[in-house]
Structure 1
Amino acid sequence: MVRKISIIAFITVLFASCTKDFQSINTNPNVPTAVPNDYLLATSQVQLAGAHNPDSKSWRNNFGYSACLVQQMSSTDISFYGGSFYTSTQNSFSAYFEDAYPNSIKNEVNLISLSSADAKFVNITSMARILKVMDIAVMTDMYGDVPYSGAGKGYLDANFTPAYDAQKDIYSDLLSELEKAGAAFDATAYIPVKADYIYSGDLAKWKRAANTLMLRLAMRLVKVDPAMAQAWAAKAIAGGLITSSAENIAIKFDGVAQISSNPNSWILGPTGSRNIAAINGVSWGKTLIDMMKNRQDPRLPLIAALKNGDNTVAKQAGLPNGTNTNTLATLTPSNLDLYSRPAAAMYQNSNPWIYMTYAEARLLQAEAIERGYATGAAATVFADGQVSALNQVYGAVKPSAGDIATYAAANTYPALSTLDAKMNAIHTELYLLNAVTLNGAEAWSDWRRSGYPVLTPVNFVGNETNGVIPRRLKYSPGEFGVNPNVNAAIAKQGADLFTTRVWWDK
């Protein structure tokens, strides 16, 4: 899908450049002076996921740090997977920062500028605004204060050293942007059906997606600003959330080439040459596998297998975080082939790239009810979110109704218990959901916000945090040589260390 539309859009640009006058004949057809908004929209979505360069956002930040930090994944490769050891792997911790600004964020900002100049493109403008929120939200959750209000405008206003905005101000504007973008959709204006790989131009779904993202961001603030969290969560729920897993906020890929393939799949599987699931580059973490076994999670044989493809539950073993090649020799098993890694269904190139699910929306709504931000029966909403999460697995095979019932009976909602017990139940389900959808970045953010599930840190010799799970990623080292504003951000936010907390992380 992505490949076909990209080719069509590019050919359209080339043909539009060809006229009979002398000036056009002497114009380089391979360097178009204008690009259609549809093409920029499609490109922005692909780059948001990281399909243009899966190494950066997917492999380095999502797997190498985030998923390993929360012990969903693990690796013996200390030279690359710094998240498993709390050490610095420069090309990994800085990857999202270095990739997003010159690619996805630049295109999102440019598209907003171009499309907003003509009222007929209001729907493209709204989509682009939401995409930018999705991108910046991940960025600020990872690093804290980051360039925002002036970011991506180098071409537009020659601002090559944008200031770092405070995360508090970023969050306030992100929430406002979602509200405004959702309200601006207009069914009478142009709708980019083919260039929209998320909802194929369905504006009602986009509106609900904006509210659903609003709920996620609002709930991130429950500790730092409860009043703000309550106001925006109530607004999001009242506005209407996505209604089923069919409305997950996800980018659809056809898997024909790298640019049209799920970037997580491209890294995990054999097509993209990385093939880290097969070459023992990364394994599922012991914390995750043990948790799924203890909870009788029916997703385990669907997401995990040994190197030979064996998905027998009893044989699944998670690799302890903080294990390098030397300490591996002291473990049982001592052979990486016998540790669980993502099963083949997890890395089909045509899998959708999932940003946020209906299951997450329901679980967050249950929390909002418990905190008094919304009305309803939290236990009922939780149960719906739990079942939806169990069915949220890649591939055609889903857990059976009987297995789901067994799981629900073994992992009931503590409706009559303390708020902490309820938060543990909700966020443990979110932890598992983010693992099976390969969303390590969100898992790390949600864990930092909630503290659940309770994780036991590792204390690898030579780690940079004294055995404390990192709370943020350090800024890109390259930034210090090109943007002096990074120093002001550090002076305001705190030392550029893994242990410095971002604004909402209280």
Structure 2
Amino acid sequence: MKIIKNNIRKISVFVLSLSLVGCSNFLDVNDTPNNPLKVPAATLLPTALAGTAFANSNELNRFASTIMSVTAGASGSPAGWDRYITSGDDFGNQWSYELYGGAMVNYRKLIDVANQDNGPAYSGVAKIMLALTFAMTTDVWGDVPYYEALIGDQGKTTPVLTPQKDIYLGNVEGSLGNLFDLVRSGLADLEKESPLGPRVDDIVYGGNMESWKRAGNSLLLKLAMQISAVEPAQSKAILQEIISKNYYINSNSANLAVNFGGQVGSQAPIWTLTHNSLFQNDLLISTRFVTLLTDKKDPRLERFVTKPTGEYVTLDNGFAGTAPPFNDRSKYNVYVTGQSGEGPTRLITYAQTSFIIAEAIVRHGIAGDAQAMYQQGIRASMSDAGVTSAVIDKYFVDNPAEVTLTGTAAQRIEKIITQKYISLFSNGLEQWNDWRRTGYPVLAEHQNAAGIDGTRPVRAVYIFAEQQRNPNFPQGSDVPNSNVKVWWDAN
């Protein structure tokens, strides 16, 4: 994947103030006489792409990585999340500015501009990424504004919530279609001649539409696996269709990943939150994650996690004592942050795609070699982390039990998801999705667990601001708590 670094720096600074392109009200996106400015596609695309990456790796990632025993909370909000304490005070900025008022409204505007200016390449990318960003949103909160958000009648400001099942599968007629429709529409657009198309403004693939097609198909695989517990027949049909095409992300260079800049103000949020912000003291790597990789003799550990004292200095999840001094703490290493904060944020990867296919073969009986795909996922993740081929080969020789699928279907799926969990380091949302969907990896409860029933959250609580201003949101005792499963979570 080729990235034009100077453009990345400019774009990353721009995305930190998404409202320059997005609207102050995340639902009012229609043109008005008071807002006549038409923003060009070449500005909307990088801003929206960086916006999705920002939302994925910012506060929502801190939350999900902490409840998934990857990071541990030392103070502030993560210290509460570490004990499963959540509320409607969480994630207001993420909902209003990073998602609805940021990335998603910009994708919607980009689709409109692309249709006006004969640029189906732009609209194809926008539809794929809008589907990914909407999936991220509904997976966190469950039922969310969908059909009446962004494209509501005359800029509807109090949209109804679309049931998550309808967002995934459809039921209500709307111009977006369901998530699968939206991705397929994007892929269809990418097949068209496009006089107007992205180049350096595409901060993922540099205008390579073949890579975007592969990414779109990998997204279809991800979405289909997400519904496997509640809609197994439809899940299998979609997975089988895409796998048979053999046209999805097939190398680390084809990962759907967004780089940021390496200068203050343009760096990836995961760098800023752990190295250079008011919240840098809040988080460090969990003892449990380091122990997991240590027990597996996993060579990715030292590339994932820093050793500022020459040893791993971590904290157990939920620990109520004093955290280690900031300068001694193990934090995200350069695999996640880059050397100076450039990231990347990995949204969909070769390793992730390989593990999805391995699970599809075991779970649904789809034709294929689950063992080969499982090992491909491990190798892809290790290589992406910077482990040499020689070291990877030696690991496979020395650890045959770890790299071999054996046992019942459930035992094989557990191994696949556990390795997928490791490969998804720094993408806490996807780790959380898999755990809710499958129950794997098996995670011990955190110390001093509180929250609702002392159980690990299975959704985020609707933000108070939306409950108060929009009567279509659940009210009072009807607001689902953090222990109420979303639709696709049948585990």
Give the TM-score normalised by structure 1.
0.82
* Alignment counterpart, residue 382 of structure 2, candidates 381, 390, 415: 390
- Partners of 2:417 and 2:92 in 1: how far apart? 27
Instruction: Give 1:20-419 correspondences, 5 Å limit.
Output: 33-50=37-54, 58-63=57-62, 65-88=63-86, 90-99=88-97, 100-118=99-117, 120-153=118-151, 157-172=154-169, 173-186=178-191, 188-189=193-194, 190-239=196-245, 240-256=247-263, 258-259=265-266, 261-270=267-276, 273-274=277-278, 276=280, 280-306=281-307, 309-310=308-309, 312=310, 315-324=311-320, 327-328=321-322, 338-344=328-334, 346-348=336-338, 349-372=341-364, 374-393=366-385, 397-399=386-388, 401-402=390-391, 404-406=393-395, 409-410=398-399, 411-419=401-409
CA shift, 1:267, in A, is 2.1
Whether the 8 Å CA contact 2:40–2:113 is kept in 1: the answer is no
- Counterpart amino acid of residue 470 in structure 2: N
CA shift, 1:158, in A, is 2.1
- Partners of 1:402 and 1:94 in 2: how far apart? 44
Whether the 8 Å CA contact 2:86–2:460 is kept in 1: the answer is no
CA shift, 1:254, in A, is 3.5
Residue 481 of structure 1: aligned partner: 468
3-state SS, counterpart of residue 250 of structure 1: strand
3-state SS, counterpart of residue 149 of structure 2: coil
3-state SS, counterpart of residue 240 of structure 2: helix
- Counterpart amino acid of residue 113 in structure 1: D
Report Cα offsets for 1:38-86 as digits up to 9, x if no partner: 2111211121122xxxxx65342111x1001110000121544432111
Residue 173 of structure 2: aligned partner: none
- Counterpart amino acid of residue 269 in structure 2: P
Q: Which runs of 5+ in 2 are unaligned?
A: 1-6, 15-34, 170-177
Whether the 8 Å CA contact 1:79–1:89 is kept in 2: the answer is no
CA shift, 1:495, in A, is 4.1
* Alignment counterpart, residue 465 of structure 1, candidates 445, 448, 452: 452
3-state SS, counterpart of residue 297 of structure 2: coil
- The change in CA–CA distance for 1:117 and 1:287 in structure 2 (over 3 A counts) is same
Report Cα offsets for 1:442-493 as digits up to 9, x if no partner: 11111111111101112526x22222111000001000122111128x99xx
- Partners of 1:246 and 1:471 in 2: how far apart? 33
Instruction: Give 1:3-14 correspondences, 5 Å limit.
Output: 3-4=9-10
3-state SS, counterpart of residue 100 of structure 2: helix
- Counterpart amino acid of residue 177 in structure 1: L
Residue 17 of structure 2: aligned partner: none
- Partners of 1:423 and 1:149 in 2: how far apart? 35
- Counterpart amino acid of residue 252 in structure 2: S
Name the count of aligned residue pairs.
450
Report Cα offsets for 1:185-210 as digits up to 9, x if no partner: 13631221121111111111111111
- Counterpart amino acid of residue 40 in structure 1: L
CA shift, 1:302, in A, is 1.7
- Partners of 1:275 and 1:83 in 2: how far apart? 14
* Alignment counterpart, residue 496 of structure 1, candidates 474, 480, 483: 480
- Partners of 2:11 and 2:287 in 1: how far apart? 42
- Partners of 1:158 and 1:353 in 2: how far apart? 32
Greater CA drift, 447-456 or 370-379: 370-379
Greater CA drift, 105-114 or 131-140: 105-114
3-state SS, counterpart of residue 228 of structure 2: coil
Whether the 8 Å CA contact 2:221–2:239 is kept in 1: the answer is yes
Report Cα offsets for 1:199-252 as digits up to 9, x if no partner: 111111111111101101111111111011101111222341111000001113
CA shift, 1:319, in A, is 1.2
- Counterpart amino acid of residue 72 in structure 1: V
Whether the 8 Å CA contact 2:78–2:282 is kept in 1: the answer is no
Q: Which has the larger radius of gyration?
A: 1
- The change in CA–CA distance for 1:305 and 1:6 in structure 2 (over 3 A counts) is closer
Report Cα offsets for 1:295-341 as digits up to 9, x if no partner: 001111222224xx24x4xx3243111123xx348xxxx66665522
Matched residues, percent identical?
A: 27
Whether the 8 Å CA contact 2:351–2:380 is kept in 1: the answer is yes
- Counterpart amino acid of residue 164 in structure 2: Q
Higher relative contact order (CA 8 A, sep 6+): 2
- Partners of 1:166 and 1:216 in 2: how far apart? 19
- Counterpart amino acid of residue 242 in structure 2: A
